[in-house]
Amino acid sequence: MDYDAPLSDVAPTPKKRRRRYSAAFKAQILAECDHPGASVAGVAIRHSLNPNMVQKWRLVQRRDSQDDFLRLPAPSSPGSQPATVDDSTAVRMEVPTPAGRLVVHWPLNAIERSVDWLRAVTR
């Protein structure tokens, strides 16, 4: 580089932009990783991807596929009939505390009372 050259003659280096991958492409890569005998690093390198990124995709997929919690029904609109819930149905809640996690099983038919309780516990 010529240090005497005016700044206008020096071309700026373009910034690298992050590549974005579609959900279909990620699903294809993850499916390849699930084949027997396939290595995550091998699949990633074959597609010119960073193996750590593919591992992160696998972690997100695993986390999203876990269904530990009961999906609650959407709140009913005013004037509509409330959904009937069996008395034995309960919601499992985990509340982090300094001593560890507090696990509570709250009856779904009394879920509206859990909001005040959660606010009191988390203060």
pLDDT, tens only, 48-82? 999 999 999 999 888 877 655 555 666 655 665 55
Please name the residue ranges forming H helices in the chain: 23-33, 40-46, 51-65, 114-121
Statement: residue 47 has pLDDT above 70: yes
Whole-number Cα distances in Å, 85 to 44, 72, 103, 109, 111? 47, 11, 22, 6, 11
Name the one residue in this structure whose structure tokens are 């809640």: 93
By percentage, how much of the chain surpasses pLDDT 70?
Answer: 71
Helix (H, G, I), strand (E, B) or coil at 96: strand
Which whole number is the average pLDDT over 97-120? 80
Name the one residue in this structure whose structure tokens are 């149905």: 89
Distance of CA 24 to the CA centre of its chain: 17
Contacts of 107 (CB under 8 A, 6+ apart): 87, 89, 90, 91
pLDDT score at 15: 80
pTM: 0.44
Q: How confident is the model at residue 104 (pLDDT cuts 50, 70, 90)?
A: confident
Q: How confident is the model at residue 5 (pLDDT cuts 50, 70, 90)?
A: low
pLDDT score at 70: 55
Statement: residue 92 has pLDDT above 60: yes
